[in-house]
């Protein structure tokens, strides 16, 4: 049952010779325009994954977090998931440890996983929680260690048919949904560092993109938004013809990965989206988090920015 | 813990030669500007009393109701209270019954109280509920008869020292707060026709202004807004010098009533405000409901329109 | 586990020369006789539909409502549903609007639906609630508009193969069971005016008989009682031989409708009964509401009055 | 808000030559007459204490228990408390143990307390529960041992200024109200054997009259009824003039005990009543349980039988 | 996720010349050794059935009950079920009634069932509750009569093809799980006398072994322990070669019953175990309750004493 | 109601020639000996504060944490609070920042507070949670930032009458008890890093000793244990005569601080104890955490080790 509220040409007669400035009425008009969007997402779960690259610029983070605060206050159940690759590498360098990657996966020794925790939990997570909580008692920082709510297995990785030991790199086995539901039903935003725990209680680093997708599925999220530093997926038909693609189906994505049109860092994000769509997640988006307030533009206007990936053409 | 979100000069670089229209960014900017106001009223009770005079113009009602819908969706617990004097008189005339007033109070015979119910419950209340529910399952219409939630006594009225029988005109004895809390906690807006019930189960007409104040006190409302068709209370220092007064204390109101500066129809509204302030209600307002979206301007901007009455100078 | 309480020949010896009047003991005996019936319906839902024709005689209504009050206090979850056709026609006439019917269905223009609301909600519903609440905080008046709890569609009606526009005449699409359960679990009787709401928020008049059946199915009622002003269904074998039929199966009813033995106003009542039986409703009854306390006689004695319709011969 | 339902001269016109027997209508009339009484006690706690003497006649017990079943089904929260002195003495005799009393108090050795339990818990309590449960899953048998819900101290008793050891005879220290509330809110009748437990876990026999009063106070009962085998308290002004007293205040009782008009076995009952009235119990009654259905007559008619003791003249 | 806590060689340096006695550290070491067992049974249901034969020796009972108290306090949900055949026979003899058995089943007349209740409920159950409650508000005594929570049918028994009337000997039809869950969730141990109730409210004696199995299945118990006065099931290969069997499968038990290796009083215990295993009960044990603290040894050490019967070889 | 379970000389007869090893019976005996202690602390809150100095030795930490796991499983509500001064200084040195102290208080610049978070939240807290969760889903790591549950003010510090700016060093203003209660009632151990948040959302380092006391008071803890690396408070009467003091009252502590017998690092611990005792905390202890399982010895034996400080001589 949807009713459009039409904003008439808002006029306000003068008051004692003084005019009520148009700006107030414009503001009210905008609020009313937003109502259908607010209704659409009322009480729905929206997962936002923020990459480590964005974390370097405090202005950008704060703009993103302001968006989340607004979303929370108009009734959206927000979950924030973050990575921190760049910052981990930086701390390793400070300590004189050389970062080693195999096919883009960080080899994570016992020493390294401790640094990973310091960065993810002690620095990035803590900072995000602090920023959010400047608006009230809003956010709770958690990592998969807490109550072992992200259970994982050691990632088995083969290079050229030979198994390679990546150390403490994990793959999600299960998410304890009740743990997150308790936080959400207390009206808090869980801010999640993507560490996991294995059977024996060892901690593992988990890829934040795929972890976001696992959490989105577990919470049956309405929407999962992957924030990155490019505008989305492009259709590259020669230099003159680069064009942002607004919508893709999972099927189309598979083809574009096969023919190389989606590549490198974008692949895990797209795969996470496709994976989430296989579950019960409604829509997934790849947005440019460095553009200010891109999440709000996506949610509260009908300007579809970035690339939306859905299971079928809808 | 309050943090100002400062909206920087919102710019968005071009995207593939295409510009993201400024309007989207302006909209997002406005939403963020509204955040402090949204936070302020999150989960608070706001009582809105709407007079019968306003009900004649469907455009005005709808504009008022749109405001309430928005308020509900950003977390405000809204209670709508309405009268309907004009419409009652109209139906009485149709039936050939002459309305009789003593000092502005309608003499209410058994026949009249039945017409009052038809108008308040069957026409006005029903219409308000219908309009609100075009936005979803939002509103529930109730009158004091329902579960006897407004208990009242017959009003004892003396004119020139002699008691006059006004018939079924009542004064609130008690409000069943649980009844209203149940509706509010189901995320519904109670729309209240101000009828009451006495010990023996007789129905009475109750003045909507004073009933609003009783309900506001019972719910410990944050704010009570009396919508009328004038802009507020004016300071009349001769024709050239009429000026709207933005703020008054209870004490100042008493003086202005004594010296006649507040008079006629405004007196019961002002008295209702003062009465509410004696309870635990935070702020009361007299606003012009015929100015579009005046409630939203009052709540979501720092433009104080209308007249605010508080217990002390704050 | 049922145990008969046998009331022995109740005698009470004299007390100080004074006799305890037999009447007290008879009363107690009657209460104990009622116990098996009370146990049978404890915590069960019973739907009572009362027609507009009965509403004209205040004595009859009050007698019916007294029955409902008693039922509530001995643990039955009572739901009261009412129509009001006669009263609607009367108000239309007062307003100079000519009532127009097609095959017994009232053509309901925008103007008419507003009068329907005034009568159903503002007059009949309100009156029923008032009467019930003279016994305590017992009843809550609702219509399908409230929280949109009766969703409906416009009735598509064809006469001689041609679609006829009946205006705002609706057919139930769904009932929000939780809305009614909340009222019942607060120990209140919902008194229901059978209005419905469509997708766009328009109000419709709904046939009270069929609406009763939809509500009975939604609440999985134990029993649905259709009160009317005749004693039930008769077996008419010529003038000398008219006999009330005590029991019918759905199958038998279908035949009697086909061969014209059930006709005119009785048909919708019987259809409503058969429809309810198709759901999970236990038993349905057509009783004469103008006979005093016929509901109590039906429920608390083994005198089966009226006509009981069941799905099979039980 | 009380409304009298007046039962008009119930008549039922003939139906197809057949008369609806008057008896049905009389029954319905009686039920409606009972309504005000049902409303008065809806959801209220009523304590009934039954003495051991009454237990000998199975017919009497069953009549009393039928009354309790009816009370439960019309919404009264019933608590049944029983003693069993006679039966204890009988079992002791069978075992060849001579019962020894000091001022009416049974000297209770270790051996005797075990017999007390066998009789109270294993015989009387069990039998009462069985009888009640023939009407459904109604009753739960408990003794003060269960979850130690009746905590007590050893009774210190002095005879002629010298302390006498009564053995395991206790005085209530505290009642665990939650334990009983849990049973009542599950819609069960707690049937209570008045044993208590001391600090060290020893079991004690507790006087059932005074225990009833302690339980009544703990549950803030509306009414406490002491069933005995006489009709109440009499005013004995010489043989010709014995008259049952309908009402007494606590003050009057004290005087009558002082001047010997209340004596022997009646004293503990009257003291229990006065003690209950000192708490928050509304009214107390001494009734003759051997008169059939005396409880129902007391509760559901305005025939005050037996003697009612109240704190003041009300 | 299981982690072994290894107790290192516990040493404590001297303190001011004084040694912390080894015993303290040993105690702490033992507690830590028990942790894995405590974790294993945390919040699990364990059924313990105690036979009447054991009840004769107060020292043994107390030792068994101490075990249950400890189990409760480390988070196990304990249910205690008891019989009382010997004690019943004894009371019958005192009363001069000769006990009559058919194939080991007691012929139970109306008179006998009353004695059964006195013994089971008034003596044994009461005594067990008293002993447990010396440790706090721990136990609640119940019998199948309470709220009719054990519903049963009269046992149909044939001897040589001819039906024999055993009187009030019953077979469980259903267990009201909610009734027991309520007691367990209040942190209480239900102590159960195995009486049952039929449709008409008659009480029956039920075999405690098979009743234990029905209750274990209804509660989906982790473990059922049958305490008896022998050490378990023996493999008897001639006098020199008697050996306790530690583990048996249901299949093996069937064979041993067939070939007579399991016989007489052990058969109903073994059948009860097999029956429980058919439900969802995890493991069943036959233990010697006369050996002190055999339950604790079974639960808190890896010394498997007695005979464990499982559905398969695990 | 306390009952001693006396462990008789545990003997077990031979079984088929095989002896049940004494060790099993000893173990069971120890468990039963512990029962009174388990009962005493069932469902009580115990606060344990662990200092940074102890964290260096993994063996010691694990031994402490094993104690907490056991405590949790026998029903104690455990709260773990930790500092990390040494580790902070170490990380600062690695980064080339010189730690600066004024009267033992660390001057905490913006840069330093970020390192504090990395160490406390990302390293120590995370490690403690990991260790505990090797035993199951037991612990949840939190810091005062989470949902702003520790609100604080900047510490105003004067040296020689002149205010000195210590930077981000805070003093607790309030603890959000509900936040911790939610974790405890989910059966989790909150592991708390003692950071706080001010009005504007800035993070502060808070002294762990005094924070422990604030949390203990807020939770109305039964017991607060300060683990350190000495055995308690000593009575130093010359070298030959150093003796551990087992018990002190607050009053005695004040004197010993005044006369210098309690000094340096012990002072804040003792002050925290006295502060907690001023609230509703029952007993406080200073224990040597480097002695293995000192907490268990304190709680589960009557060997009082360390120094117990109470409000009065009890």
CB pair distance less than 8 Å for A28 and B300: yes
Same domain, E100 and E200: yes
Can you give the length of chain E in residues? 314
Count Cα neighbours of F80 within 13 Å in the Cβ-side half-sphere: 31
Contact list, E127 vs chain D (CB under 8 Å): 114
At residue D184, the pLDDT reads 97
Can you give the length of chain B in residues? 314
Per-residue pLDDT band for A53 (boundaries 50, 70, 90) equals: confident
Instruction: Look up residue D174 and give its two tokens.
Output: 């505290």
Contact list, C11 vs chain D (CB under 8 Å): 292
- CB contact at 8 A, A277 and A223: no
DSSP β-ladder status, C243-244 and C234-235: antiparallel
DSSP state of E15: B
Nearest-angstrom CA–CA distance, B49 and B289: 10
Mean pLDDT of chain E: 89
C14, C13, C31, C70: which is closest to C189 by C-alpha?
C70
pLDDT tops 50 at residue E9: no
Q: Which chains touch E (3 or more CB pairs under 8 A)?
A: A, C, D, F
Per-residue pLDDT band for A239 (boundaries 50, 70, 90) equals: low
What are the angstrom distances between the C-alpha of B216 and each of A130, B50, B220, D29? 37, 14, 6, 45
Per-residue pLDDT band for F195 (boundaries 50, 70, 90) equals: very high
pLDDT tops 70 at residue D13: no
Average pLDDT score over residue span E293-313: 87
Same domain, E59 and E199: yes
Q: Which chains touch C (3 or more CB pairs under 8 A)?
A: A, B, D, E
Nearest-angstrom CA–CA distance, F256 and F262: 5
Judge whether A12 lies within some domain.
no
pLDDT tops 80 at residue F187: yes
**What's the distance, Cα to Cα, between the start and end of chain E in Å?**
20
pLDDT tops 50 at residue D17: no
Average pLDDT score over residue span D255-282: 92
Examine chains F and D and say if they touch (3+ CB pairs below 8 A). yes
Helices (H) and strands (E) in chain C, counts: 10, 18
Nearest-angstrom CA–CA distance, A163 and A152: 19
Contact list, A114 vs chain F (CB under 8 Å): 123
D8-12, D258-262, E75-79: least confident range? D8-12
Nearest-angstrom CA–CA distance, B211 and B221: 13
CB pair distance less than 8 Å for E148 and D133: yes
Q: How many domains does chain F have?
A: 1
Can you give the length of chain D in residues? 314
Cross-strand partners of C24: none
CB pair distance less than 8 Å for F138 and A147: yes
Average pLDDT score over residue span B276-288: 94
Same domain, E60 and E187: yes
Tell me which chain E residue has its CA closest to the CA of residue C2.
Answer: E200
- CB contact at 8 A, D303 and C20: yes
- CB contact at 8 A, A37 and A300: yes
At residue C11, the pLDDT reads 39
B151-167 burial by CB neighbour count: b if 16+ within 10 A, else e? Answer: bbebbeeeeeeeeeebb
Tell me which chain B residue has its CA closest to the CA of residue C124.
Answer: B118
At residue E168, the pLDDT reads 97
D222, D220, D165, D215: which is closest to D193 by C-alpha?
D215
Average pLDDT score over residue span B149-160: 95
At residue E77, the pLDDT reads 97
Which of A9, A27, A298, A307 is the best mutation test for B, with the most CBs of B within 10 A?
A: A27
A4-8, C283-287, D68-72: least confident range? A4-8
Per-residue pLDDT band for A20 (boundaries 50, 70, 90) equals: low
- CB contact at 8 A, A129 and A220: no
Contact list, B201 vs chain C (CB under 8 Å): 130-131, 133-135
Nearest-angstrom CA–CA distance, B284 and E110: 77
At residue B137, the pLDDT reads 94
- Say how many C-beta atoms besides its own lie within 10 A of residue B58's C-beta: 10
Per-residue pLDDT band for B238 (boundaries 50, 70, 90) equals: low
A42, A44, A33, A46: which is closest to A74 by C-alpha?
A42
- Say how many C-beta atoms besides its own lie within 10 A of residue B178's C-beta: 11
DSSP-assigned states of every residue in E288-303: ETTSTTHHHHHHHSS-
Q: Domain holding C266: CATH number?
A: 3.40.1160.10
Nearest-angstrom CA–CA distance, C140 and E259: 72
Tell me which chain A residue has its CA closest to the CA of residue F145.
Answer: A130
Instruction: Look up residue D186 and give its two tokens.
Output: 């599950």
pLDDT tops 60 at residue D15: no
- D310: distance to nearest CA of chain F, Å? 38
Task: Measure CB to CB from residue A301 to each of B24, B42, B296 and give the nearest one.
Answer: B24
Q: Which residue has the tokens 């959801």?
A: D43
Judge whether E293 lies within some domain.
yes
pLDDT tops 50 at residue D8: no
B270-284 burial by CB neighbour count: b if 16+ within 10 A, else e? Answer: bbbbbbbbeeebbbb
CB pair distance less than 8 Å for C303 and D73: no
Average pLDDT score over residue span C35-49: 95
Judge whether A17 lies within some domain.
no
At residue D37, the pLDDT reads 93
- CB contact at 8 A, E68 and E80: yes
- How confident is the model over D162-219, as pLDDT tens digits? 999 999 999 999 999 999 999 999 999 999 999 999 999 999 999 999 999 999 999 9
At residue D11, the pLDDT reads 39
At residue B51, the pLDDT reads 86
Which of E6, E19, E31 is the best mutation test for F, with the most CBs of F within 10 A?
A: E31
Per-residue pLDDT band for D243 (boundaries 50, 70, 90) equals: confident
CB pair distance less than 8 Å for A296 and B28: yes
Judge whether D38 lies within some domain.
no
Instruction: Look up residue E266 and give its two tokens.
Output: 């052990």
At residue B20, the pLDDT reads 54
Per-residue pLDDT band for F305 (boundaries 50, 70, 90) equals: confident
pLDDT tops 60 at residue B71: yes
- F103: distance to nearest CA of chain D, Å? 54
- Torsion angles phi and psi, residue F101, rounded to 5: -120, 145
- How confident is the model over E23-61, as pLDDT tens digits? 787 888 888 889 999 999 999 999 999 987 888 888 999
Same domain, E273 and E232: yes
- How confident is the model over F229-285, as pLDDT tens digits? 888 999 876 666 678 999 999 999 999 999 999 988 899 999 999 999 998 899 999
Per-residue pLDDT band for C249 (boundaries 50, 70, 90) equals: very high
- Report the share of chain F in percent with pLDDT over 70: 91
- How confident is the model over A140-166, as pLDDT tens digits? 999 999 999 999 999 999 999 999 999
The dihedral over CA atoms of C161, C162, C167, C170, expressed in degrees to the nearest 10, equals 20
CB pair distance less than 8 Å for D147 and E188: yes
Cβ-Cβ contacts under 8 Å for C278 (sequence gap 6 or more): C217, C250, C311
Q: Which chains touch F (3 or more CB pairs under 8 A)?
A: A, B, D, E
Nearest-angstrom CA–CA distance, D169 and D192: 17
Per-residue pLDDT band for D302 (boundaries 50, 70, 90) equals: confident
Nearest-angstrom CA–CA distance, E219 and E189: 13
DSSP-assigned states of every residue in C218-259: HTT-SEEEEEESS-S-EE-SSGGG-EE--EEEHHHHHHHHHT
Nearest-angstrom CA–CA distance, F305 and F295: 9
Cross-strand partners of D163: D158
At residue D87, the pLDDT reads 94
At residue F56, the pLDDT reads 83
Mean pLDDT of chain A: 89
Burial of A159 (0-12, 13-18, 19+ CB in 10 A): exposed
Average pLDDT score over residue span A92-107: 92
Return the ∠ at Cα A113 (arms to A90 and F292), rounded to 5°. Answer: 130
CB pair distance less than 8 Å for B133 and C148: yes
Tell me which chain C residue has its CA closest to the CA of residue D17.
Answer: C243
Tell me which chain C residue has its CA closest to the CA of residue A1.
Answer: C199
C158-167, D258-267, E16-25, F128-137: least confident range? E16-25
Task: Measure CB to CB from residue F31 to each of E10, E30, E137 and give the nearest one.
Answer: E30
Single pTM value for the model: 0.90
pLDDT tops 60 at residue F12: no
Nearest-angstrom CA–CA distance, D231 and C15: 8
Judge whether D234 lies within some domain.
yes
| Helix runs in chain B, H state only | 22-41, 58-73, 85-94, 110-119, 126-133, 177-185, 208-218, 250-258, 266-278, 294-300
In what helix (H) or strand (E) does residue F78 lie, and over which residues does it extend?
A: strand F77-82
- CB contact at 8 A, A36 and A4: yes
pLDDT tops 90 at residue A67: yes
Task: Measure CB to CB from residue D126 to each of E117, E127, E130 and give the nearest one.
Answer: E117
At residue B313, the pLDDT reads 61
Nearest-angstrom CA–CA distance, D19 and B224: 63
How many Cβ pairs closer than 8 A exist between chain B and F?
A: 6
Nearest-angstrom CA–CA distance, F221 and C177: 46
Per-residue pLDDT band for F292 (boundaries 50, 70, 90) equals: confident
Average pLDDT score over residue span D85-92: 93
CB pair distance less than 8 Å for A3 and C201: yes
Tell me which chain F residue has its CA closest to the CA of residue B1.
Answer: F199
The dihedral over CA atoms of B2, B7, B8, B9, expressed in degrees to the nearest 10, equals -160
Tell me which chain E residue has its CA closest to the CA of residue A198.
Answer: E1
Mean pLDDT of chain D: 89
Find the chain D residues whose C-beta atoms sit closer than 8 A to any C-beta of B: 1, 3
pLDDT tops 90 at residue E66: yes
- How confident is the model over B283-305, as pLDDT tens digits? 999 999 988 899 999 998 877 78
- How confident is the model over E94-136, as pLDDT tens digits? 889 999 999 889 999 999 999 999 999 999 999 999 999 999 9
Examine chains F and E and say if they touch (3+ CB pairs below 8 A). yes
pLDDT tops 70 at residue D141: yes
Examine chains D and E and say if they touch (3+ CB pairs below 8 A). yes
Contact list, E199 vs chain C (CB under 8 Å): 1
Find the chain B residues whose C-beta atoms sit closer than 8 A to any C-beta of D: 148, 197, 199-201
Mean pLDDT of chain F: 89
B193, B183, B226, B176: which is closest to B49 by C-alpha?
B226
- CB contact at 8 A, F289 and F228: yes
pLDDT tops 50 at residue A14: no
Out of E219, E246, E278, a domain closes at E219
Residue range(s) defining the domain that contains residue E58: 49-65+78-219
Judge whether C75 lies within some domain.
yes
Judge whether B20 lies within some domain.
no
- How confident is the model over C24-33, as pLDDT tens digits? 878 888 888 8
Nearest-angstrom CA–CA distance, E75 and F38: 11
Judge whether B282 lies within some domain.
yes
At residue A295, the pLDDT reads 94
DSSP β-ladder status, E169-175 and E189-193: unpaired
Per-residue pLDDT band for F117 (boundaries 50, 70, 90) equals: very high
């Amino acid at each position: 049952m949807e009713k459009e509220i039409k904003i008439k040409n808002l006029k306000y007669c003068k008051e004692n010779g003084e005019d009520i400035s148009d700006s107030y009425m414009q503001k009210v008009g905008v609020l009313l325009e937003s109502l259908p969007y607010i209704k659409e997402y009322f009480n729905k779960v929206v997962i936002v994954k923020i990459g480590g690259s964005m974390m370097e610029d405090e202005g950008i983070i704060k703009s993103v977090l302001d968006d989340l605060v607004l979303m929370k206050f108009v009734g959206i159940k927000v979950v924030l998931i973050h990575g921190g690759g760049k910052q981990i590498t930086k701390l390793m360098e400070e300590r004189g440890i050389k970062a080693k990657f195999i096919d883009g996966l960080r080899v994570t020794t016992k020493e390294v996983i401790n640094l990973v925790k310091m960065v993810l939990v002690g620095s990035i997570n803590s900072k995000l929680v602090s920023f959010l909580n400047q608006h009230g008692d809003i956010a709770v920082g958690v990592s998969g260690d807490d109550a072992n709510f992200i259970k994982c297995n050691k990632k088995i990785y083969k290079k050229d048919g030979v198994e390679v030991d990546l150390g403490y790199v994990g793959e999600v086995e299960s998410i304890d949904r009740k743990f997150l539901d308790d936080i959400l039903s207390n009206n808090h935003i869980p801010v999640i560092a993507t560490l996991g725990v294995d059977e024996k209680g060892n901690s593992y680093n988990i890829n934040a993109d795929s972890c976001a997708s696992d959490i989105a599925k577990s919470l049956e999220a309405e929407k999962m938004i992957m924030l990155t530093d490019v505008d989305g997926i492009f259709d590259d038909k020669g230099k003159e013809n680069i064009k942002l693609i607004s919508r893709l189906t999972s099927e189309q994505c598979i083809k574009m990965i096969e023919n190389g049109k989606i590549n490198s860092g974008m692949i895990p994000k797209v795969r996470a989206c496709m994976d989430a769509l296989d579950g019960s997640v409604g829509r997934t988006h790849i947005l440019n988090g460095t553009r200010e307030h891109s999440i709000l533009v996506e949610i509260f206007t009908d300007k579809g920015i970035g690339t939306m990936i859905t299971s079928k053409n809808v």
